[in-house]
């Protein structure tokens, strides 16, 4: 079982998995804005495997592709915990930095590297895409 939570501890969650799912890093300018940082580190998991306790604040945001992204924040400290996206039903995209033991996670691939901040140097041979990755790359992460 994987566990995690927000900064203040009001929101905690478990993910019914025996090993960490795969993760990816998104270097798009939206993720830079939303995180106030340089990229977002994401762990997609099956929504049914995720059990959350504590109050979430929900914010719905239209996506580039014309869909809807529903962002879930801790209602007390506003840590962004996960989101769902109408383009990827049944999947919860967990912020990898909220996972207990996140230091063991490293991105399987990088997306939107065309807007990656110039000081970030990807490891030699890293799987990277100038914009979105093929759908199969995301799906493969669910298998761990």
Residue (10 or 122) nearer to Zn ion, CB: 10
Closer by beta carbon to Zn ion, 21 or else 32:
32
Q: What is the CA radius of gyration of the chain?
A: 14
Distance CA 129, CA 136 (A): 13
Contacts of 106 (CB under 8 A, 6+ apart): 23
C-beta atoms surrounding 14 within 10 Å: 16
Return the structure tokens found at 75: 């209602």
Name the residues that contact Zn ion, by CB under 5 A.
6, 8, 10, 26, 28, 31, 74, 76-77
Q: Which is nearer to Zn ion, 48 or 83 (CB)?
A: 83
CB of 48 or CB of 77, closer to Zn ion = 77
- Alpha-carbon span 117 to 98, nearest angstrom: 23
Contact 90, 46 (CB under 8 A): yes
Q: How far is the CB of 46 from Zn ion (least distance, A)?
A: 21
CB of 132 to Zn ion, least distance (A): 9
Place of tokens 């270097």: 27
Q: How far is the CB of 56 from Zn ion (least distance, A)?
A: 10
Least distance (Å) between residue 19 CB and Zn ion = 25
């Amino acid at each position: 079982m994987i566990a995690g939570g927000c900064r203040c501890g009001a929101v905690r969650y478990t993910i019914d998995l025996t090993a960490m799912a795969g993760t990816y890093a998104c270097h798009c300018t939206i993720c830079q804005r939303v995180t106030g940082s340089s990229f977002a580190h994401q762990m997609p998991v099956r929504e049914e495997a995720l059990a959350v306790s504590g109050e979430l604040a929900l914010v719905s945001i239209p996506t580039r592709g014309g869909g809807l992204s529903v962002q879930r924040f801790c209602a007390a400290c506003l840590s962004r915990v996960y989101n769902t996206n109408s383009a990827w039903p049944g999947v919860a995209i967990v912020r990898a930095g909220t996972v207990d033991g996140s230091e063991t996670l490293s991105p399987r691939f990088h997306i939107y590297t065309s807007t990656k901040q110039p000081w970030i140097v990807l490891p030699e041979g890293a799987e990277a895409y100038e914009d979105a990755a093929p759908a199969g790359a995301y799906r493969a992460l669910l298998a761990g």
